[in-house]
Amino acid sequence: MFLRPGCHGLEGTGGVIIQGRPQARVAAFPVRGLVEVLALAGVYLLAARVALSLAAEKSHICPVWLPSGVALGGLLLLGVSRWPAVALGAGAVAYAMDVTPGVGLSVVLGSTLEAVLPALLFRRMEGARELHRVRDVAWLGAGAGLGALVGAGLGTLGLVLGGVVPAAQWGPAGWLWWMADLLGMLLVTPVLLLRRPRRVARSWEALLLTALTVGVCVGVFAFPRPGSAAAHAMTFLLFPLMAWGALSFGLRGAALSSLSIALAAIAGTARELGPFFTVDLPHRGLVVLQLFIGITALTGLLLAAARAERRQAVELLELLATTVRAVHEGVLICEVRESGGLHTVFVNEALCALVGRRREELVGAAPGELLASADGGDRQRLLEALREERSLRAEVALTRPDGTRVWSEMQLSPVRANGQAVTHFVATHRDVTATKELQARLVAAERVAAVGTLAAGVGHEINNPLAYLALNLEAARRSLAAEGAQAPAGVRDALSSVRGAQEGAERIRLIVRDLQVFSREGAPERGLVDLNALVPPAVRVVLHALRSRARLVEDFGPVPRVLGSEARLGQVLLNLLVNALQAIPEGDPGRHEVRVRTGTDPSGHARVEVEDTGGGIPPDVLPRIFDPFFTTKGSDEGTGLGLAICQQIVRTHGGDLRVRSVPGQGATFTLLLPPAPVQSAGSLVPLHAVAHVSEEPETAASGRRGRVLIVDDEPRLAQSMRLLLEPAHEVVTVTRGEDALARVSAGESFDVVLCDLQMPGMDGIAVYRWLQQEAPELASRVVFISGGASSPEARAFVETVAQRVLEKPVRPDVLLSTVEEMLEGSSPKVAARGAVGGTRRG
């Protein structure tokens, strides 16, 4: 017979972190360290007594040496520096067994090393004491096996050298010793590493598992005849119970179930009961018992670790899935099939909302079906990226069930699950429809701005030829009219034709003038604005498009003047008229009507109403009608900016823009503006006020003949003005500012100077400033002629100069009356806004 292969313990050297505290800090408390060493040694001795009590009755062989598990667990909990406790406990056990000092020293040394080595290895491999990973269980098992091998080797070697065990029995003794220590560490250490017990969520399940385990253990290890087949068959019932505990309750269930089954098996075998006791070969039954306990314990720990890892993976997967579902960007995951095709396996809520489809419609379908490009360009790029297994970043159009399209910025990324072949593709979609629409609208706005600039430039260029056309027609009319009523029929016909041409030229002048009003850039000027005078130009701009849709009704009432920008308020009226005509379909102008009504609101505000008989605005759309980029029109008719801009312009003027509508009966937009504080024209002159002229003015009423200097870089315009003025006045024309100043410097005198504002070289501003310095009396008799102040300097000059400014094309009657008034030395009489003429500043 030989000693129990269990006279060994655990301990180690070095410092480790113990429960989050550095070992050096523990060393600073020698009293506490001593208490821990003595406590661990005491538990070691207690475990030894329990293990010896479980030894077979006819031998001192212990199938499981519980103190080895106590030693390893203690060092993992308290730190390797507590190894003296293992040496102390192992020495006490050796002394109690009454062995020689040499045998006792080998036992103490082996027991200490078998605990220290696995503790150091477990720490080196960064194992977690919770054993929630398979690798933690593997390193614990490997370390325990290595430590038990060292401990068993030294222990049995001491027994052989001490003559306690025959040399021939050194192998079997070493095996039993190694298995006993290894099982002790696999059974006891996990129990010691358990955290403070928490309240069991499924207490009924725990009680049921405990009851079944106790019942099966009693049935297997208490009653059956030793070595019976029935007992062996019933042993297999313990494996599912142990697996149940590991899978349902984790490490706690696995450790406690394995320890309980092991203790029951050892106790029954020690009492010569159960399937592992054999009368003829007791040691073989002991080996089988150890294998049973080892497999049970290790399987339980591995199942618990696998369950913990799976739970962590599932929690992480759920977190990722929840995160992916919650992100605002659409996510689509598709799997690569063996045939090379793709099918969708996951989509989040954001993608479903983006394309307007349910998840069930998308999962399983080919991802390319969402692309809306008719020419296949996007589809081709996607197929190339999939074929080459590369990433792709592109803007693609996705289709909705109703046929509408949404623009998405797609980022396609391949997923190599096994590190080599691409198994999945992940596509993230960010809705950029609003951005694309904004870009398109900005481009449209730039085009509108370019058209406005072009219109202003074209108007400026038209003004010069239109001016001398009108002046020449007036000169021809006067010449023909001089023939009197006795003129031949041909002359009368020619006079009628000239008058018709004058009407056409006047219409062209009004159109050009309206273009300049609505394309005026910046329009920083603010002054008194007569809304009744502002409506006709806006109406004339849209009248051609309106005639095919509805009839126009103008209803003018008394309106107080408002303080504001003529161009900006004209833009509002124009937008409201365009909005009204777009609400009415073409083809039935007799049925529909657009009414423009002006008046004074009961609150005293100026009121302009634009009413149409179109389809009206739905109630759900009405609250959003002034939102930027919101439109119910097609892309060819509206951008969603017109009404928003109108609202902003009106609010900057201190007013309000309202809408009321009845579906099917049209809509009415009401513009309300506060009246100007001063309505007198003497205190604040309206912008671009026009001189009041008669319908058929003739030569100067006073008959005074004056000397007029015309300065204009357009020779034909200067010549036309000369022909108009020359019958009544002496006229001198020059085409350069330098020539005009040369004549004045030479001593020539002039009564009136008609000077173009913008000319190459020396412009009208420079001419006027020179005259202010050299001939101030003549500077006060300068009248400017402008085709539109295009530069900031020119606009600022026009706003501040006290001289009269006539806008091209100048009507002949306005030109004649202006020269007459300058000759009389009186200020021109300024009337309410009518046809385009000039403005006196100051």
Residue 3 confidence class, pLDDT cut points 50, 70, 90: very low
- Of the residues 380, 414, 431, which one is the last residue of a structural domain? 431
Task: Give the residue numbers spanning the domain of 817.
Answer: 707-840
In 343-405, alpha helices (H):
349-355, 359-362, 377-388
Count of CB atoms within 10 A of residue 820's CB? 22
292 assigned to some structural domain: yes
Residue 796's pLDDT is 81
Whether the ω angle into residue 809 lies within 30 degrees of 0, i.e. cis, is yes
Encode pLDDT of 292-305 as tens digits: 888 888 888 888 88
Q: 102 and 144: one domain?
A: yes
Mean pLDDT of 703-719: 85
Q: 7 and 131: one domain?
A: yes
Contacts of 546 (CB under 8 A, 6+ apart): 552, 577, 581, 594
Please say if the pLDDT value at position 280 is more than 80: no
Residue 695 confidence class, pLDDT cut points 50, 70, 90: very low
Encode pLDDT of 531-558 as tens digits: 988 888 888 878 878 888 888 899 999 9
Q: What CATH number did the domain enclosing 641 receive?
A: 3.30.565.10
Asked whether 754 and 709 are in contact (CB, 8 A), the reply is yes
114, amino acid identity: E
Asked whether 255 and 308 are in contact (CB, 8 A), the reply is no
Residue recorded with tokens 């539109």: 788
Count of CB atoms within 10 A of residue 195's CB? 9
* 258-269 as b/e: b if 16+ CB within 10 A: bbbbbbbbbbbb
Report the C-alpha gap between 122 and 120 in whole angstroms: 5
Q: What CATH number did the domain enclosing 127 receive?
A: 1.10.1760
Report the C-alpha gap between 763 and 740 in whole angstroms: 11
Q: 548 and 588: one domain?
A: yes
Encode pLDDT of 253-262 as tens digits: 888 888 888 8
Residue 28's pLDDT is 46
Q: Which of 51-65, 348-362, 790-804 has the lowest mean pLDDT?
A: 51-65
* Concatenated DSSP letters of 419-458: SSS--EEEEEEEE-HHHHHHHHHHHHHHHHHHHHHHHHHH
Please say if the pLDDT value at position 509 is more than 80: no
- Percent residues over pLDDT 90 in the chain: 16
505 assigned to some structural domain: no
607 assigned to some structural domain: yes
Residue recorded with tokens 């992100």: 327
Most confident of 299-303, 476-480, 500-504, 789-793: 299-303
Q: 567 and 657: one domain?
A: yes
Mean pLDDT of 797-804: 84
Residue 38's pLDDT is 92
Q: What CATH number did the domain enclosing 737 receive?
A: 3.40.50.2300
740, amino acid identity: A
In whole angstroms, what separates CA 443 from the centre of its chain? Answer: 23
Mean pLDDT of 94-98: 82
515 assigned to some structural domain: no
- Please classify residue 426 by burial: count the beta carbons closer than 10 Å to its beta carbon, then call 0-12 exposed, 13-18 middle and 19+ buried: middle
Residue 824's pLDDT is 83
Report the C-alpha gap between 519 and 636 in whole angstroms: 21
The structure tokens listed for 6 are: 């269990």
Q: Give the 3-state secondary structure of residue 755.
A: strand
Residue 43's pLDDT is 93
Please say if the pLDDT value at position 240 is more than 70: yes
464 assigned to some structural domain: no
Q: 53 and 186: one domain?
A: yes
Asked whether 591 and 638 are in contact (CB, 8 A), the reply is no
Asked whether 67 and 20 are in contact (CB, 8 A), the reply is no
Q: Which of 620-634, 666-680, 822-836 has the lowest mean pLDDT?
A: 822-836
Encode pLDDT of 724-774 as tens digits: 888 789 999 999 999 999 999 998 999 999 998 888 889 899 999 999 999
Q: Give the 3-state secondary structure of residue 338.
A: coil
Encode pLDDT of 389-418 as tens digits: 888 888 888 888 887 888 888 888 888 866
Residue 829's pLDDT is 33
Mean pLDDT of 111-120: 93
Number of H helices, E strands in the chain: 25, 18
458 assigned to some structural domain: no
H or E element in which residue 135 lies? helix 134-161
Please say if the pLDDT value at position 24 is more than 50: no
Please say if the pLDDT value at position 480 is more than 60: yes
Q: Which of 141-155, 161-175, 454-468, 805-819 has the lowest mean pLDDT?
A: 454-468
Q: Rounded to the nearest 5°, which phi and psi values hold at 431?
A: -70, 115
Q: 165 and 205: one domain?
A: no
Mean pLDDT of 584-612: 90
- Percent residues over pLDDT 70 in the chain: 78
822 assigned to some structural domain: yes
351 assigned to some structural domain: yes
Q: 173 and 49: one domain?
A: yes
Nearest Cα to Cα of residue 23 among 81, 75, 84: 81
- Of the residues 397, 431, 465, which one is the last residue of a structural domain? 431
**Start-to-end Cα distance in the chain:** 132
Encode pLDDT of 41-91 as tens digits: 999 999 998 888 877 655 556 788 999 999 999 999 999 999 999 999 999
Mean pLDDT of 21-37: 64
Contacts of 239 (CB under 8 A, 6+ apart): 296, 299
* Concatenated DSSP letters of 720-746: HHHHHHTTTSEEEEESSHHHHHHHHHT
- Of the residues 293, 315, 337, which one is the last residue of a structural domain? 315
**Is pTM, for the whole model, over 0.75?**
no
Residue 771's pLDDT is 92
Q: Which of the two residues, 505 and 631, has the higher pLDDT score?
A: 505
Q: 350 and 373: one domain?
A: yes
When divided into structural domains, the chain yields a total of 5
Residue 804's pLDDT is 87
Distances (CA, A) of 646 to 571, 641, 741: 8, 9, 48
- Within a 13 Å sphere around the CA of 387, how many CA atoms are in the beta-carbon half? 6
- Within a 13 Å sphere around the CA of 537, how many CA atoms are in the beta-carbon half? 26
Q: Rounded to the nearest 5°, which phi and psi values hold at 165?
A: -120, 135
Residue 345's pLDDT is 87
Residue 112's pLDDT is 93
Q: Which of the two residues, 56 and 326, has the higher pLDDT score?
A: 326
Taking all residues of the chain, what is their mean pLDDT, rounded to a whole number?
Answer: 78
Q: 204 and 78: one domain?
A: no
Q: 269 and 386: one domain?
A: no
- Please classify residue 697 by burial: count the beta carbons closer than 10 Å to its beta carbon, then call 0-12 exposed, 13-18 middle and 19+ buried: middle
Residue 595's pLDDT is 92
Residue 823's pLDDT is 87
Report the C-alpha gap between 684 and 681 in whole angstroms: 5
Q: 152 and 65: one domain?
A: yes
Q: 536 and 675: one domain?
A: yes
